[in-house]
Structure 1
Amino acid sequence: MIERNLIRERTSAARARGRACGSRPKMTSKKIKQAKLMRNNGMSQLEIAEILGVGRTTLYRHLK
């Protein structure tokens, strides 16, 4: 319980200093543009996901 409160305090302090929490985004704006171009050229979304090294769900989310 005490340890959880310490983690919560450190996390909120880091956010206040402008630190980003969590992992970096897998899809950059460059990858999104490339994926759209590939989709317009007739590639399947599964192929695009494999080439870009992201999951299908991640790709679907960015190509809505």
Structure 2
Amino acid sequence: MLVFNIFGSLAQLERDLICDRTNAGLKAARERESLGGRRPVITPDKLRKARDNIAAGLTVREAATRLKVG
């Protein structure tokens, strides 16, 4: 029984350390004003062009194909 308690305590300690390191990394990223996640596929310029193409009569699929976003 003692061994299980020791392993459980070590696992909890490791979990807490991982949590602390993750939070420290997120805080450092916020201070660097680093955005996380995937970069946007479509830029504001491509979005404007897509809307212009759709207004000109193209389907959404055709506009996306022309701009290579879909």
Q: TM-score, normalised by structure 1?
A: 0.66
Q: Which runs of 5+ in 2 are unaligned?
A: 1-14
Larger Rg, first or second structure (1 or 2): 2
Report matched runs for 1:7-46 at 5 Å. 7-46=22-61
Q: Percent identity?
A: 29
Q: Which runs of 5+ in 1 are unaligned?
A: 56-64
Q: CA deviation at 1:24?
A: 1.3
Runs of 4+ displaced beyond 3 Å = none
Q: TM-score, normalised by structure 2?
A: 0.62
**CA RMSD, Structure 1 to Structure 2 (Å):** 1.7
Alignment coverage as a number of residue pairs: 55
